Chain A
Amino acid sequence: MWDLWPEDLEWQPMSRRLRTVWVLRSLLNVLILAVVAAVPLTIWLGWDGLLWALGGYVVLAGLRVLTVTRLVATWGYAEREEDLLVRHGLLTRRLSIVPYGRIQLIDLSAGPIERMFGLTTVQVRTAALGSTTEVPGLDPPVASALRDRLAVRAAEVREGL
Chain B
Amino acid sequence: MSDAHPHTGPTGEEPAPPPAPQPFGPEVSQPSAALPTGVPRQRLHPLTPLLESFRFFAAVLAAAGIQVFTSRNFVFPIILAVVAAVAGGVASLIALQYRGFVIWGRELHIFGGVFTRSHRTVPLDRLQSVDLARPLRARLFGLAQLNIEVAGGDGTDARLAYLKVDRALGLRAELLAIAGRPVTPTAAPVAAAGSEAPVEEAAGPAPMVPPIPVRKLALASLLEALPVQVTALVLLGTAFAVTGAIFGFSTVATTLWVGFFAPALLGYLQSTVSAVNKFLRNCRFRLARDGGSLLIERGLTDTSHETVPVDRVTAVCFDEPVLWRSRGWRRVEVWTAAVAQQGGAGLARSTTMLPVGEPDQVALVAAEAVPELASRFEVRLPPRRARWRMPLRWKKTGAILEEQVFVVRNGLLVNTYTALPYARIQSVRVVQGPLQRLQGLASVYAMTAGGVGNVATARHREAHEAVAMAAELRRRADAAAALETPRLA
Contacts and interface: CB of A to CB of B under 8 A. Distances in A.
Interface of A: 1-2, 4-7, 82-83, 89, 91-99, 101-102, 126-131, 133, 158-161
B488 A92 contact: no
A151 to B, nearest CB: 16
Interface in B437-489: 437, 442, 447-452, 454-455, 463-464, 467-468, 470-471, 474, 477-478, 481, 484, 486-489
Interface stretch (B269-277, B289-297, B353-361, B427-435): B427-435
A161 B437 CA distance: 33
Contacts of B463: 1, 4
A128 B468 contact: no
B337 A6 contact: no
Contacts of A127: 337, 426, 449-450
Contact of A95 (B423, B448, B468, B470): B470
18 contacts: A1-B442, A1-B463, A82-B478, A91-B434, A92-B434, A94-B429, A95-B429, A95-B430, A97-B470, A98-B427, A102-B426, A128-B426, A128-B427, A128-B447, A128-B448, A159-B486, A160-B487, A161-B487
A6 B429 contact: no
A4 B474 contact: no
Size range of the chain B interface in the assembly: 35 or more
Contacts of A160: 423, 481, 484, 486-488
Given A4-B464, A95-B429, A161-B314, A128 B454 contact: yes
A5 B472 CA distance: 10
A161 B484 CA distance: 11
A93 B431 contact: yes
B323 to A, nearest CB: 33
Contact of B486 (A94, A131, A158): A158
Contacts of B481: 101, 159-160
A106 to B, nearest CB: 14
Nearest to A100: B478
Interface in B373-393: none
A6 B471 contact: yes
Contacts of A95: 429-431, 467, 470
Contact of B426 (A92, A94, A126): A126
A92 B447 contact: no
B424 interface: yes
For the complex of A and B, 4 pairs with smallest distance between CB atoms = A127-B449, A160-B487, A128-B447, A95-B430
B474 A99 contact: yes
B429 A161 contact: no
B337 A161 contact: yes
B467 A5 contact: yes
Contacts of B477: 99
B433 A91 contact: yes
Contacts of A161: 151, 312, 314, 337, 424, 449, 487, 489
A92 B467 contact: no
B409 to A, nearest CB: 21
Contacts of B88: none
A89 B436 CA distance: 13
B431 A97 contact: no
A82 B474 contact: yes
B411 interface: no
A98 B447 CA distance: 10
B170 interface: no
Contact of A133 (B153, B427, B478): B427
B449 A93 contact: no
Interface string B316-336: 000000000000000000000
- Which of B434, B471, B486 has the largest count of A CB atoms less than 10 A from its CB? B471
- Which of A4, A96, A102, A161 has the largest count of B CB atoms less than 10 A from its CB? A161
A63 B339 CA distance: 44
Nearest to B448: A128
B463 to A, nearest CB: 5
A126 B448 CA distance: 9
A75 B437 CA distance: 17
Given A1-B463, A5-B467, A89-B432, 7 more contacts: A1-B442, A7-B471, A83-B474, A92-B432, A96-B427, A102-B427, A128-B454
Contacts of A5: 467, 471
